[in-house]
Amino acid sequence: MDNWSPSLTVDDEFEKLVLRMNPPRVTVDNESDRKATLVKVDSANKRGSLLEVVQVLNDMNLTIRRAYISSDGEWFMDVFHVTDQRGNKLSEDGVAERIQQSLGPRGRSSRSLKSSVGVQAATEHTTIELTGRDRPGLLSEVFAVLADLKCNVVAAEVWTHNSRMASVVYITDELNGLPIDNPDRLAKIKQLLLFVLNGDRDKRGANTAVSVGLTHTQRRLHQMMYADRDYDVGELKGAGGSASDRSNPFVNVENCAEKGYTVVNLRSPDRPKLLFDTVCTLTDMQYVVFHGTVIAEGPEASQEYYIRHTDGCPVSSEAERQRVIHCLEAAIRRRTSEGIRLELCCEDRAGLLSDVTRMFRENSLSVTRAEVTTRGSQAVNVFYVTDASGCPVKSETIEAVRKEIGLAILSVKDDDFYSNSPPQQSGKFSLGNLFRSRSEKFLYNLGLIRSSS
């Protein structure tokens, strides 16, 4: 007998009816504010509405300078003051239509496929999700295994925080460019990657998951790190000092007994996608934002939210209050990038990421965050690197790596770094043959391949 719930079905159908009768209304106002474009969103209220709006603005690469949120009752009304990435008002035609389409019923299915690292949703890939204990060289080992298994990495995003690592990797078959769906092959990929992730230090345990298709990468990374308890302050104390290098946000959580809300106040250095990160985490923790104000017009951003748990209750204990504080602190820190920003741009080829990250590892560079993108035939990759202990990298080390990879291919995007760096010279990429034997030796030492001798 099917496990059918008539009440859930009726509720779902009622919500769909309300949304059809009251579709989201989006207006774009370029007159009211001298410095920003106002995006106003009105719609029938439902759980997750705020996150959907912020996620759409985030995917459009818009910067949110101010936000006023109200969703108390049956109606959802938000006003966002936004600019483009250069700080200018929006001049693109059709912005309101794009936002409205994204928030409508059709938008939900396509939005779940949108990736934040540049993969087109129309293209099929196999998605690999990885979580485990971070360590120097881990990313190199992951990419080396995938290269040996004839998997082409089309795109990926990697976050590290509080000694933990989470990544979403999109792969295709190296030979035919199609998604990998053979159960035996997928099982082998999972087994070898889990072997690498576990190592001999991960007492908490690593996880791997494989599926065909795309997900919203950054949304998923937040969920993965939250599930992996990267907010655990016990782990933070033993993180080797890396956490102290990040800008520390201030989070205060208090109950407002008169109104039956919990009031959350956050202050932190401003940066792109900050609002998305906090709203995403509150949603994952099963809290609803009823009112909110966000101001991010200077070096510091302030956020205030009036929240309740989905059961209608405010925060009810000191332990819950501390958990909210630690989780929001972690949400802000996850995307805070440690280290020197390196950009790699060259013709894509099989094994490129394995070769490049292997070079990082051999020069004692640790990758704290990475964004891997394929644009046509070009690989456009971003890496944030520190030394193996989490400290800043010496300029001579970076320049030595650049000379081996190619000065015209691997560039430094850090203004402070260039003040003490030697002048750039043209270079030629020469990693292909250099790393083939090293990669094979590394995999052989791990027991992942047999000796060819």
Looking at the structure, give the CATH architecture of the domain made up of residues 25-111. 2-Layer Sandwich (3.30)
Q: In what helix (H) or strand (E) does residue 410 lie, and over which residues does it extend?
A: strand 410-412
Strand order in the sheet with 75-83: 25-29, 37-44, 75-83, 63-70, 287-295, 300-309, 261-269, 250-256
DSSP character at residue 275: H
Q: Are 273 and 218 in contact (CB under 8 A)?
A: yes
Q: Using one digit for the tens of pLDDT, what is the confidence trace for 66-118? A: 999 998 777 889 999 999 989 999 876 677 777 777 766 555 444 443 433 33
pLDDT at position 390, please?
87
- Residue 410 confidence (pLDDT) above 70: yes
DSSP per residue over 297-354, as a string? Answer: SSSEEEEEEEEEETTS----SHHHHHHHHHHHHHHHHHTPPPSEEEEEEEE--TTHHH
Question: What are the backbone angles phi and psi of residue 103, rounded to the nearest 5°?
Answer: -85, -15
d(CA 186, CA 199): 20
Buried b (16+ CB within 10 A) or exposed e, 70-108: bbbeeebbbbbbbbeeeeebbeeeebbebbbbbbeeebe
Give strand pairing partners of 130: 167, 208
pLDDT at position 24, please?
78
- Residue 430 confidence (pLDDT) above 50: no
CA-based nearest residue to 434, from 334, 354, 369, 365? 354
Q: Give CA torsion, residues 351, 354, 359, 365, to 10 deg.
A: 150
Same fold, 25-111 and 126-231+338-445: yes
pLDDT at position 419, please?
54
Which residue is listed with tokens 């791990």?
Answer: 446
Query: Which residue type, as a one-letter code, is found at position 32?
Result: S
- pLDDT tier at 416, thresholds 50, 70, 90: low
For the chain, the average pLDDT equals 82
Sequence-distant (≥ 6) Cβ neighbours of residue 323 within 8 angstroms: 231, 285
Retrieve residue 393's tokens: 């990298």
Sequence-distant (≥ 6) Cβ neighbours of residue 17 within 8 angstroms: none
d(CA 218, CA 57): 13
Predicted model pTM: 0.83
Question: What are the backbone angles phi and psi of residue 284, rounded to the nearest 5°?
Answer: -65, -30
CA-based nearest residue to 402, from 439, 365, 350? 365
- Residue 361 confidence (pLDDT) above 90: yes
Mean pLDDT value of segment 345-358:
94
d(CA 107, CA 112): 8
What is the domain partition of the chain in residue ranges? 25-111, 126-231+338-445
The CATH number of the structural domain formed by 126-231+338-445 is: 3.30.70.260
**Percent of the chain beyond pLDDT 90?**
59
Is residue 224 classed exposed, middle or buried when 0-12, 13-18 and 19+ CB atoms within 10 A define those classes?
A: buried
CA-based nearest residue to 145, from 90, 194, 98, 209? 194
Q: Are 282 and 289 in contact (CB under 8 A)?
A: yes
Q: Using one digit for the tens of pLDDT, what is the confidence trace for 298-340? A: 899 999 999 999 999 999 999 999 999 999 999 999 998 789 9
- pLDDT tier at 25, thresholds 50, 70, 90: confident
> Which range, of 298-302, 374-378, 380-384, 412-416, averages the lowest pLDDT?
412-416
- Residue 436 confidence (pLDDT) above 70: no
- Residue 427 confidence (pLDDT) above 60: no
pLDDT at position 8, please?
46
